[in-house]
């Protein structure tokens, strides 16, 4: 539906495509790398996932806002996206326990967006042209947008994990029997909940914490989290991960953590054409010969040929759409990682066995 009493807004892409729509959320100007998520539900979890920091997200489900916003469905303290693009936008919601409308939530958190666009066309455009920067504005004229777009840095070569990481260590599940040190590169709350629910006490450390400080916690295992940005420029975390692996205890990495573990073994990473983001990506477990439907959010991947040639790692999971590497284990070490998100809030939950695998590795 057309929103009453809302300003016009403009979207300008790096390749020159200009679209006019309706302003939603905070009136302002914003920009970042444009990407799309094909999930049919869970828009608030997407917007608050730290892995989306620096990005403008197209939520491809046609109708957005209809179930409002709920504090308990946040993956971090506030939205991490730089902007929002939707098709049909609702300022009213039907869920009785919603904290507020999506419009009120976006305004409160100063998230600028645009509605009434053909998101199907936009997704096809990005799939064809590849990821690129964009700018959204509900306050500037069309002629002023290019100057704003020129200010936005490329995601390639951008280090963002330390920007979204915690400022100081904190503990969840205090008193639980299994101690897990979490290197926070942009960790989601659902990941920590899955560990705590399995009897872990998690101490979460800032991204640039030294290995010596982390080891002083005397953990039983180590977890390297998801997060935003280019893994190729994160040498600081690679050195920390190398030291963690040398200790020989159980290690589990997800998404960016997976890429960092791969880099410790000489595997390079690359920027994907348009990335994987959604709740329905098919992955094959090469060890078990089974398949699982997964939640994914990544614009970088580890290099397939490097994994094939490597004597240090073995591929454990592949993407059935494009054969990219979705999981590895480090030979001779008690360490494994996956590119996708087994915590998958709101779902699917096919891959939550990986948390059990990590706990079993710690116990063994």
Residue 166 lies in a domain: yes
Q: What is the pLDDT of residues 69-98, one digit of tens each?
A: 999 899 999 999 999 999 999 988 989 999
Cα dihedral 110, 116, 118, 119 sign: positive
State how many domains the chain has. 2
Residues 285, 312, single domain; the answer is yes
pTM attached to this predicted model: 0.96
Residue 156 lies in a domain: no
Residue 224 has pLDDT above 80, yes or no: yes
Residues 145, 166, single domain; the answer is no
At residue 4, the pLDDT reads 52
What CATH number is attached to the domain comprising 258? 3.40.50.880
Q: What is the pLDDT of residues 18-73, one digit of tens each?
A: 999 999 999 999 999 999 999 988 999 999 999 999 999 999 998 999 999 999 89
Residues 192, 62, single domain; the answer is no
How do strand 112-115 and strand 18-25 relate by DSSP bridges?
antiparallel
Per the prediction, the chain carries an average pLDDT of: 96
Cα dihedral 226, 185, 252, 256 sign: positive
226, 80 Cβ separation under 8 angstroms: no
255 is catalytic: yes
185, 223 Cβ separation under 8 angstroms: no
How confident is the model over 149-153, as a mean pLDDT? 97
Residue 273 lies in a domain: yes
Residues 111, 15, single domain; the answer is yes
Residues 321, 188, single domain; the answer is yes
Residue 341 lies in a domain: yes
Residues 243, 137, single domain; the answer is no
Radius of gyration of the chain (CA): 20
349 is catalytic: no
The pLDDT confidence band at residue 179, using thresholds 50, 70 and 90, is very high
Query: What does the alpha-carbon distance between residue 260 and residue 242 come to, in Å, rounded to a whole number?
Result: 9
Q: What percent of the chain lies above the pLDDT cut of 70?
A: 99
At residue 364, the pLDDT reads 87
At residue 345, the pLDDT reads 84
H helix intervals, the chain: 43-47, 102-108, 119-129, 145-149, 161-164, 189-196, 211-215, 235-247, 256-264, 304-309, 353-363
Residues 322, 192, single domain; the answer is yes
How confident is the model over 116-127, as a mean pLDDT? 97
Residues 193, 292, single domain; the answer is yes
Domain span at residue 232 reads 161-363
What CATH number is attached to the domain comprising 35? 3.50.30.20
159 is catalytic: no
Residue 2 has pLDDT above 70, yes or no: no
Q: What is the pLDDT of residues 245-285, one digit of tens each?
A: 999 999 999 999 999 999 999 999 999 999 999 999 999 99
Residue 5 has pLDDT above 70, yes or no: no
At residue 91, the pLDDT reads 86
| SS3 of residue 180 by DSSP | strand
User: Residue 104, class by beta-carbon neighbours within 10 Å (0-12 exposed, 13-18 middle, 19+ buried)?
Assistant: middle
Among candidate residues 35, 75, 255, 258, the one labeled active-site is 255
Query: What does the alpha-carbon distance between residue 149 and residue 153 come to, in Å, rounded to a whole number?
Result: 9
């Amino acid at each position: 539906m057309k929103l009453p009493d809302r300003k016009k807004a403009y979207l300008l892409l790096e390749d020159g495509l200009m679209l006019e729509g309706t302003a939603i959320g905070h009136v302002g100007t914003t920009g970042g790398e444009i990407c799309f998520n094909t999930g049919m539900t869970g828009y608030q979890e997407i917007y608050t996932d730290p892995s989306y920091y620096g990005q403008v997200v197209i939520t491809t489900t046609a109708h957005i806002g209809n179930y409002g916003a709920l504090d308990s469905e946040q993956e971090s303290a506030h939205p991490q996206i730089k902007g929002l693009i939707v098709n049909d936008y609702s300022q009213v919601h039907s869920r009785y326990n919603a904290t507020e409308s999506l419009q009120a939530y976006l305004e409160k958190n100063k998230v600028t967006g645009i509605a009434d666009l053909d998101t199907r066309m936009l997704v096809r455009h990005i799939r064809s042209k590849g990821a690129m920067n964009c700018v959204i504005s509900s306050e500037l004229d069309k002629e002023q947008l290019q100057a704003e777009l020129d200010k936005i840095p490329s995601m390639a070569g951008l280090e963002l994990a330390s920007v979204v990481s915690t400022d100081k260590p904190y503990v969840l599940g205090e008193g639980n029997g299994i101690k897990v040190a979490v290197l926070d590169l942009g960790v989601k709350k659902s990941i920590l909940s899955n560990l705590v629910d399995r009897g872990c006490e998690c101490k979460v450390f800032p991204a640039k914490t030294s290995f010596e400080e982390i080891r002083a916690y005397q953990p039983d295992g180590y977890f390297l989290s998801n997060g935003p940005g280019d893994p190729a420029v994160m040498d600081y975390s690679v050195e920390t991960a190398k030291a963690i692996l040398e200790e020989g205890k159980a290690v589990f990495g997800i998404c960016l953590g997976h890429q960092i573990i791969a880099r410790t073994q000489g595997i390079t990473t690359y920027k994907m054409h348009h990335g994987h983001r959604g709740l329905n990506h098919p992955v094959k477990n090469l060890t078990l010969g089974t398949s699982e439907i997964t939640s994914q959010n990544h614009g970088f991947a580890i290099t397939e040929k490097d994994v094939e040639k490597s004597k240090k790692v073995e591929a454990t999971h592949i993407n059935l759409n494009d054969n990219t590497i979705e999981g590895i284990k480090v030979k001779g070490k008690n360490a494994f990682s996956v590119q996708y998100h087994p915590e998958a809030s709101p779902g699917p939950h096919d891959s939550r066995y990986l948390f059990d695998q990590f706990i079993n590795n710690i116990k063994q």
